[in-house]
C-alpha cells in the first residue's frame, strides 16, 4: 500500500477538533510477553483508521499505525490501565498504557471502532435500528391520525411483509440469462450476476450476494440461487438490482469483486467488464402469476439492450402450479430442462420450526442451489450453516460441576482427621495445589460469564486462555435436498476444530502420550505414597459418588416411612418400605469391595501411633451377603466408635459396622410385617363383629405404628452414618495418594483432560439434540436409541507430524472419554430448553428438555427416564502436506493404532445392534449384507496402511449414515480441510443418493466451495481469517483452498527453496 508522506504529515498537524480522539499514552512494542523497550510517553491522535504517534502535541508525527487487520486485547483487572494491539501480519504487538482506567476504556472503544470492520458493524446496527424506529413510528402515527375504527384495524407496518412459513427463508429465487451480447463477436463470455438490494426506507444500494461464474456461453444458467433469511428486512416494496459481469481472469476476480463501488464500471485491468443491469420489485416477483419475471438487461446509460435475465421464484417443499419452463444450457454440451415440479416435504419444515431447536441454533446462513439429475430434472438444495449456543453453555455447565466436585474433594481431604507428620504434610501440599486449581476454574467461569458477542470461538482465538474450554468453530452444516421423484432428505454434519488444549501446547505430546508416561512414573513413587491403580482410584470416586447420592435418598425414604406410619396407612407404608429397602441394599452393596477394607487399614497406619492386631482372614462375599438375612432384634447390633487412633485396630471391625446397616434394615422390615399382620387380623375380627367398623379407618390406641418404628429407623440412620464416615475417609485417603504421587503433573493432566473433554462434549450435545429432533417421527430410530444407543462418528483430518500429532492424541482421549456420557430426555417445565448437565468426572448425565407435545412422541422407555448410551468412534486420515512429511520422514503408527482400535468399537456396536434390533426395523438395516461388506472393506483399508487412504473416511461416513449415527468432521481449526471434506461428501451424496448428473459433479462442487457466491465480503469479514467476535459469520464452506495433496517432487523443491530463503534472511 502506498502513502503520501506529505499528506500524512499535514493531517497529523491539523487542529485538535479534527481528530476522533487524542491524548497522552505510554507506548512500546511487545513480542510475546516481553517488552522490547520501556514504554515511552507519546501524544496520540486518532483519525479514522490512522493512529499518529508524536513526541509531543506540537511535534511532527514519528509513526503512523494503520488500524486494519488487528484486534484489541483489554485487561479485565480494575487496576490495569493498559491495552495491547495485536496484528494479523505477525508484526510486534503495540502496548498502550493510559493514565487511568476510564481513559484506558475510552481508548479501547475508540480504537475498536476505528477500523473498517468496526465501521461496517456500526452502519449495519444503525440501519437495523432506523428500520425498526421507522416501522414503529409509521404504525404509531397512522393510529394517531386515523379514525379509531381504522386505527384499530391498522396493525401492519408501512411496508408490506412477505408471507412465509415460520423459520423458512423470506424469499428465494434462481437466475438465468439469455442472448447476452459480448464486446467482440468471437469472445465466449464468462459471466456472473451481482445481486444488490435497495431498501425502500433508505434508498441505499447494498451488495448482498453473487452467483457462481458460468464459462463459455451467452445463455448462462446459474446453479447458485439467492436466498434471504427469515430475519432479513425485505418487503414487497424492496427493489433488487441484478448486475451482469463478464470475467476475463477468473482467479483475479474472486479477490477483487468485493472492492468495486456499485455506481462505477470496473476498469479493464480489474479482470472483469460490465455487461448490463436491471432492477425489479420483490412484490412484482411474488405476485406474478407464473412466479417468474423476464427482465431486459441494459447498459449503464439505459440505452443499449444486452440480453435478458429470467428470475424464478423458488418455494422448496411446496407444490408449484404452472406450466413447465424449459431453460437450456449448452455447458458441457448438456441440455437440461428446468422443470418446476415439487412434492410436499414430510415434516421437515415442521421439525425446523421448533422452539427447543431454535434455543440451540442461531445465526443461520443459507445458500440455495439447483442441480440437474441424470434424467434431466432439477433438484433443489438448500445448504445451511448455523452457530450453536451450546459452544459456551456446555463448558460453563461443566466447569461449574468441576468446581463443586473439587470443593467437595478438598473438604473430604480436610475431614480425614489427624494424620502422621509425613501424611499431614502431604495433605497440606495437595490441598494447596488443589486450591490453586480451583481458583483457576473459578476465574475461567467468571470470564466466560462476561463473554458477549458471537456464540462460537473463531480459530484465531484458539490460543486464548480464557476460551480454552470452548470448542473451535462449532457449527451445524445441513443440506436439505428436494428431488422431483424422491423423498426430501436432510444430511447433517457437525463441524468443529479438533478438541485439544491449544493454550497448553504440544511440546511434550498430547494426552495419549502424557497419560501413559504419567502412569509409568507413578508406579515408581511407592516410597513416598501408596500406589493405587487407575481402576482403584476410579472405584474410590464411584464409591464417594454413590455415598453422596444414596445417603440423602435413604434418609428421605426413612422419613416417608415414618410419615406413613403416623398416618396408619398400610398401602403407603408398603410403598415406602419397598423404596427404602431398594436404596439401602444398593448402599450396602456399594461397600462390598475389598478396596474399602484395605483403604481403612492404610488410613489407620497413617494415624499418629497405631497398633495392629493379628490380621484376620477376610470373609468372602457369600458370608457378607448373609448378614442381611440373619437378625432377630436390634439389641443384637453392637454400635461402633469412629476409627481408633491410639488403640489396636481390628480388621473385622469394618465388617461388623458395614453389616449393621443390613441388620438394621431387616429389623425395620420385620417390624413392618408384624404391624401389617396385626392390622390385617384385627380388621378381620372387627369386620366379623361389626361390618361397618372394617371400613372405618381410625387411629388405634393399642399400639402406635410410629412409636414402634421410630427407634428402628433412628438406629438404621445411625449405622448408615457411621458407615458413611468411615467409607468417606478411606476413599478420600485413596484419592490423596493419587494426587500426592504426581503433583503437580496430576492436576495439570486433569486440567488438560477437562479442557479437551469440554470441547468434545459441547459438540456431542449439539449433535445429539439435532439428531433427536430430526428423528423424532422415526419410530425405528427411537427404538434403536433406547435399545442399543447412538453411534457418534468423528472424521479426523489431522496429520501425524509436529503439533498436529499432539492434537490427535488429545482428540483421541477426549472422544474416548465421551463413552462415560449418558443422555436422558425430560419434559421441559419452562421456556428454557437448554440442556442440564449433572454428574462427576467419571460419569455425566445430560438432560435434554423437550416441549410437552414433542415429549409425547417418544417411546415409553425414554419417557420413563431410561439413560441413553453413546458409542463414539474416531477415524483419522491426514491429508495435508504435513502428512506427506510424516509418511516419508516420520511415523504414522499413532493414526494406524487409533483407526484399528476404533474399528473394533464400531464392530462391537454393529454386533450389539444385530443382536438387539429386529432385521426389518429400519430401512437402512434391510441390507445387512451391505453393512457387513462395508465393515469388511473398512477393515481391509485400515490393514492396508496405504498413504492418505481417504477411502477410510468415505467408508466410515457411509456406515455411520446407514446406522443412523451422528457425523462429525474435524481438522485443526474446522476451516480448509473440513470445508473441502464436507463439500465433497455433500456432492458425493447428491451423486449416489439423488442422481446428480455426472457431468455436473465438478461444477456442483465448485459452486459449494466458491467464495464468489458469498457476495461482497471483505477478507476480514470471514470468521476464519479475521478475528472479529461480534460479526455474524459467513460460511467457511464456500471458498476454495490450495490443493491438499503435494507430490514428492514438489515437496523436495519446496524444502530446498524454504531452506534457501531462511539462509538468505539470517545472513
pLDDT of 549 higher than 60: yes
Distance from C-alpha of 827 to C-alpha of 836, rounded to nearest angstrom = 12
Region 439-459 average pLDDT: 90
Rounded to the nearest integer, the mean pLDDT of the chain is 79
868 pLDDT above the threshold of 90: yes
pLDDT band at 930 (very low <50, low <70, confident <90, very high): confident
770 grid coordinates: 439435532
Q: Cell for 184?
A: 467482440
- Taking only the tens place, the pLDDT of each residue in 551-560 is 888 888 888 8
Residue-level pLDDT at 166: 59
In the prediction, which pLDDT does 75 show? 66
Q: Residue 642 — very low, low, confident or very high, per pLDDT cuts 50/70/90?
A: very low
Q: What was the pLDDT predicted at 632?
A: 40
* pLDDT reported for residue 902: 96
Confidence of residue 895 (pLDDT cuts 50, 70, 90): very high
CB atoms within 10 A of CB 129: 10
Spot the catalytic one: 971, 987, 1007, 1027: 971
Q: Which of 87, 79, 90 is nearest to 51 (CA)?
A: 87
Question: Tens digits of per-residue pLDDT, 315-337?
Answer: 865 533 333 333 333 333 333 33
pLDDT greater at residue 138 or residue 281: 281
Q: What pLDDT, on the 0 to 100 scale, is given for residue 646?
A: 39
**pLDDT (average), residues 860-884:** 93
Axis crossing angle, helix 652-689 with helix 534-567, rounded to the nearest 10 = 20
197-206, 345-354, 645-654: which range is least confident on average? Answer: 345-354
* Whether pLDDT at 949 is above 80: yes
pLDDT at 1006 over 70: yes
DSSP string, 859-894: -HHHHTT--EEEEEEEEE---SHHHHHHHHHS--HH
Nearest Cα residue to 1001 out of 985, 1014, 1013: 985
Q: What is the pLDDT of residues 970-983, one digit of tens each?
A: 999 998 899 999 99
Q: By the 8 A CB rule, do 665 and 628 touch?
A: yes
Q: Which residue has the higher pLDDT, 293 or 16?
A: 293
Residue 1021 pLDDT exceeds 90: no
Whole-number pLDDT of residue 927: 56
Residue 633 is predicted with a pLDDT of 40
| 2/730: higher pLDDT | 730
Measuring CA to CA, which residue among 342, 369, 358 is closest to residue 488?
342
Q: What is the pLDDT of residue 768?
A: 96
Average pLDDT (701-718) is 80
Q: What is the pLDDT of residues 114-148, one digit of tens each?
A: 877 777 767 766 766 666 565 555 444 444 433 44
Alpha-carbon separation of residue 314 from 113, 369, 945, 1013 (angstroms): 39, 10, 47, 18
* DSSP letter string, 584-628: HHHHHHTT-SHHHHHHHHHHHHTSSS-EEPPPPPPP-HHHHHHTT
Q: Per-residue DSSP letters for 242-286? A: EEEEEES-HHHHHHHGGGS-TTSPPPGGGTEEEEEEEEEEHHHHH
Q: CA 359, CA 375: separation in Å to the nearest integer?
A: 41
Q: Which three cell numbers stand for residue 1019?
A: 477478507
Q: Is the preceding peptide bond at 233 cis, omega within 30 degrees of 0? A: no
Give the pLDDT band (50/70/90) at residue 1.
very low
Q: Residues 57-83: pLDDT tens digits?
A: 888 888 888 888 787 876 656 667 888
971 an active-site residue?
yes
Query: Looking at the predicted structure, is the pLDDT value of residue 1025 above 60?
Result: no
CA 977 to chain centre: 19
Distance in Å from the first CA to the final CA of the chain:
28
| Cα–Cα dist 571/864, whole Å | 23
In the prediction, which pLDDT does 550 show? 84
Q: How far is it, in rounded angstroms, from Cα 562 to Cα 573?
A: 8
CA distance 604 to 598: 10
Please report, for residues 554, 655, 720, 891, the alpha-carbon distance to residue 585 in angstroms, rounded to integers and kept in the order given.
Answer: 10, 15, 12, 53
Compare 552 and 251 and report the one with higher pLDDT: 552
- The residue with greater pLDDT, 94 or 1037, is 94
d(Cα 344, Cα 333) in Å, to the nearest integer? 32
pLDDT tens for each residue of 663-674: 888 898 888 888
Mean pLDDT to the nearest integer, 147-176: 63
What does the pLDDT average to over 951-959? 94
Query: Inter-axis angle of helices 705-740 and 421-449, to 10 degrees?
Result: 90
More confident residue, 1031 or 299: 299
At residue 56, the pLDDT reads 87
Query: 114-128, 139-153, 895-909, 1017-1031 — which is least confidently predicted?
Result: 1017-1031
SS3 call for 837? strand
Weakest mean pLDDT among 5-19, 852-866, 1005-1019: 1005-1019
491 has a pLDDT exceeding 50: yes
Confidence of residue 397 (pLDDT cuts 50, 70, 90): very high
Between 200 and 184, name the one with better pLDDT: 200
pLDDT band at 520 (very low <50, low <70, confident <90, very high): confident
pLDDT of amino acid 527: 54
Position 836 scores a pLDDT of 95
- Tell me which of 539 and 391 has the higher pLDDT: 391
Specify the DSSP class assigned to residue 818.
G
| Range 895-902 average pLDDT | 95
Amino acid at each position: 500500500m502506498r502513502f503520501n508522506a506529505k499528506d500524512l504529515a499535514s493531517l497529523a498537524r491539523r487542529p485538535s477538533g479534527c481528530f476522533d480522539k487524542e491524548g497522552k499514552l505510554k507506548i512500546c512494542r511487545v513480542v510475546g510477553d516481553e517488552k522490547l523497550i520501556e514504554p515511552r510517553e507519546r501524544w496520540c491522535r486518532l483519525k479514522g483508521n490512522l493512529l499518529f504517534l508524536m513526541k509531543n502535541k506540537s511535534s511532527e508525527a514519528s509513526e503512523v499505525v494503520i488500524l486494519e487487520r488487528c484486534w484489541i486485547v483489554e485487561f479485565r483487572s480494575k487496576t490495569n490501565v493498559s491495552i495491547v494491539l495485536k496484528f494479523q501480519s505477525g508484526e510486534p504487538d503495540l502496548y498502550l498504557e493510559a493514565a487511568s482506567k476510564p481513559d484506558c476504556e475510552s481508548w479501547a472503544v475508540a480504537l475498536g471502532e476505528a477500523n473498517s470492520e468496526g465501521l461496517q458493524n456500526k452502519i449495519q446496527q444503525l440501519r437495523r435500528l432506523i428500520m425498526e424506529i421507522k416501522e414503529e413510528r409509521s404504525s404509531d402515527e397512522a393510529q394517531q391520525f386515523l379514525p379509531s375504527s381504522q386505527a384499530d384495524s391498522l396493525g401492519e407496518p408501512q411496508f408490506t411483509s412477505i408471507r412465509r412459513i415460520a423459520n423458512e427463508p423470506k424469499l428465494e429465487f434462481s437466475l438465468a440469462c439469455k442472448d447476452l451480447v459480448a464486446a467482440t463477436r468471437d469472445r465466449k463470455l464468462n459471466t456472473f450476476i451481482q445481486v444488490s438490494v435497495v431498501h425502500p426506507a433508505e434508498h441505499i444500494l447494498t451488495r448482498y450476494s453473487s452467483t457462481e461464474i458460468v464459462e463459455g456461453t451467452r445463455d448462462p444458467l446459474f446453479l447458485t440461487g439467492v436466498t434471504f433469511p427469515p430475519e432479513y428486512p425485505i418487503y414487497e416494496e424492496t427493489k433488487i438490482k441484478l448486475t451482469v459481469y463478464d470475467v476475463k481472469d477468473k482467479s483475479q476476480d474472486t479477490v477483487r469483486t468485493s472492492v468495486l463501488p456499485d455506481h462505477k464500471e470496473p476498469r479493464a485491468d480489474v479482470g472483469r467488464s460490465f455487461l448490463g443491469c436491471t432492477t425489479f420489485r420483490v412484490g412484482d416477483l411474488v405476485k406474478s402469476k407464473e412466479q417468474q419475471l423476464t427482465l431486459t438487461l441494459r447498459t449503464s446509460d439505459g440505452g443499449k439492450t444486452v440480453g435478458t435475465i429470467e428470475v424464478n421464484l423458488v418455494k422448496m417443499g411446496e407444490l408449484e402450479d404452472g406450466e413447465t419452463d424449459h431453460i437450456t444450457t449448452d455447458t458441457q454440451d448438456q441440455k437440461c430442462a428446468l422443470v418446476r415440479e415439487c412434492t410436499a416435504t414430510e415434516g421437515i419444515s415442521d421439525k425446523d420450526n421448533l422452539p427447543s431447536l431454535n434455543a440451540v441454533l442461531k445465526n443461520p446462513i443459507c445458500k440455495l442451489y439447483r442441480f440437474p439429475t441424470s434424467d434431466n430434472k432439477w433438484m433443489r438444495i438448500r445448504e445451511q450453516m448455523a452457530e450453536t449456543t451450546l459452544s459456551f453453555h456446555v463448558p460453563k455447565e461443566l466447569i461449574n460441576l468441576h468446581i463443586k466436585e473439587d470443593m467437595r474433594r478438598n473438604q473430604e481431604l480436610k475431614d480425614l482427621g489427624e494424620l502422621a507428620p509425613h501424611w499431614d504434610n502431604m495433605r497440606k501440599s495437595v490441598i494447596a495445589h488443589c486450591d490453586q486449581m480451583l481458583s483457576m476454574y473459578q476465574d475461567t467461569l467468571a470470564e466466560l460469564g462476561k463473554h458477549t458477542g458471537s456464540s462460537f470461538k473463531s480459530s484465531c482465538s484458539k490460543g486464548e486462555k480464557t476460551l480454552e474450554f470452548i470448542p473451535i468453530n462449532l457449527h451445524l452444516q445441513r443440506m436439505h435436498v428436494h428431488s422431483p421423484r424422491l423423498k426430501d432428505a436432510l444430511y447433517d454434519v457437525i463441524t468443529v476444530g479438533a478438541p485439544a488444549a491449544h493454550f497448553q501446547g504440544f511440546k511434550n505430546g498430547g494426552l495419549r502420550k502424557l497419560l501413559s508416561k504419567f502412569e509409568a512414573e507413578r508406579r515408581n513413587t511407592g516410597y513416598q505414597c501408596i500406589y493405587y491403580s487407575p481402576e482403584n482410584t476410579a472405584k474410590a470416586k464411584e464409591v464417594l459418588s454413590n455415598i453422596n447420592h444414596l445417603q440423602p435418598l435413604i434418609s428421605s425414604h426413612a422419613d416417608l416411612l415414618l410419615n406413613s406410619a403416623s398416618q396408619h396407612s398400610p398401602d403407603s407404608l408398603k410403598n415406602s418400605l419397598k423404596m427404602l429397602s431398594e436404596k439401602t441394599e444398593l448402599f450396602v452393596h456399594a461397600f462390598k469391595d475389598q478396596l474399602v477394607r484395605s483403604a481403612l487399614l492404610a488410613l489407620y497406619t497413617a494415624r499418629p501411633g497405631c497398633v495392629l492386631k493379628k490380621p484376620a482372614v477376610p470373609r468372602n462375599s457369600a458370608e457378607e451377603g448373609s448378614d442381611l438375612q440373619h437378625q432377630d432384634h436390634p439389641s443384637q447390633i453392637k454400635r461402633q466408635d469412629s476409627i481408633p487412633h491410639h488403640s489396636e485396630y481390628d480388621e473385622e471391625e469394618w465388617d461388623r459396622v458395614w453389616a449393621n446397616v443390613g441388620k438394621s434394615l431387616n429389623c425395620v422390615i420385620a417390624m413392618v410385617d408384624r404391624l401389617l399382620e396385626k392390622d390385617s387380623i384385627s380388621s378381620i375380627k372387627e369386620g366379623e363383629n361389626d361390618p361397618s367398623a372394617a371400613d372405618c379407618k381410625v387411629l388405634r390406641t393399642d399400639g402406635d405404628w410410629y412409636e414402634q418404628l421410630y427407634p428402628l429407623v433412628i438406629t438404621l440412620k445411625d449405622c448408615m452414618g457411621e458407615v458413611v464416615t468411615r467409607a468417606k475417609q478411606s476413599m478420600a485417603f485413596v484419592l490423596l495418594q493419587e494426587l500426592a504421587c504426581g503433583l503437580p503433573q496430576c492436576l495439570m493432566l486433569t486440567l488438560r483432560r477437562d479442557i479437551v473433554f469440554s470441547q468434545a462434549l459441547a459438540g456431542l450435545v449439539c449433535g445429539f439434540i439435532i439428531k433427536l429432533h430430526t428423528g423424532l417421527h422415526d419410530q425405528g430410530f427411537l427404538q434403536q436409541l433406547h435399545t442399543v444407543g447412538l453411534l457418534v462418528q468423528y472424521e479426523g483430518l489431522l496429520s501425524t507430524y509436529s503439533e498436529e500429532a499432539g492434537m490427535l492424541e488429545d482428540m483421541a482421549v477426549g472422544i474416548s472419554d465421551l463413552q462415560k456420557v449418558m443422555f436422558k430426555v425430560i419434559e421441559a417445565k419452562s421456556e428454557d430448553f437448554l440442556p442440564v448437565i449433572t454428574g462427576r468426572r467419571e460419569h455425566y448425565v445430560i438432560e435434554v428438555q423437550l416441549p410437552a407435545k414433542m415429549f409425547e412422541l417418544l417411546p415409553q422407555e425414554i419417557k420413563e427416564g431410561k439413560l441413553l448410551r453413546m458409542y463414539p468412534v474416531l477415524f483419522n486420515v491426514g491429508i495435508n502436506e504435513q502428512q506427506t512429511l510424516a509418511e516419508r520422514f516420520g511415523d504414522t503408527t499413532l493414526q494406524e493404532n487409533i483407526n484399528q482400535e476404533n474399528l473394533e468399537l464400531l464392530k462391537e456396536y454393529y454386533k450389539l445392534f444385530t443382536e438387539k434390533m429386529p432385521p426389518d426395523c429400519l430401512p437402512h438395516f434391510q441390507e445387512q449384507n451391505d453393512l457387513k461388506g462395508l465393515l469388511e472393506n473398512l477393515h481391509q483399508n485400515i490393514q492396508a496402511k496405504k498413504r492418505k487412504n481417504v477411502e477410510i473416511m468415505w467408508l466410515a461416513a457411509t456406515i455411520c449414515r446407514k446406522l443412523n449415527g451422528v457425523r462429525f468432521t474435524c481438522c485443526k481449526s474446522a476451516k480448509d480441510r473440513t470445508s473441502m471434506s464436507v463439500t465433497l461428501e455433500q456432492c458425493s451424496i447428491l451423486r449416489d443418493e439423488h442422481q446428480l448428473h455426472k457431468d455436473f459433479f465438478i461444477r456442483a462442487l465448485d459452486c459449494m466451495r466458491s467464495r464468489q457466491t458469498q457476495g461482497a465480503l471483505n477478507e476480514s469479514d470471514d470468521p476464519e481469517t479475521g478475528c472479529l467476535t461480534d460479526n455474524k459469520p459467513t460460511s467457511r464452506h464456500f471458498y476454495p483452498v490450495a490443493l491438499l495433496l503435494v507430490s514428492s517432487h514438489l515437496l523436495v523443491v519446496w524444502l530446498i527453496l524454504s531452506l534457501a530463503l531462511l539462509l538468505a534472511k539470517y545472513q
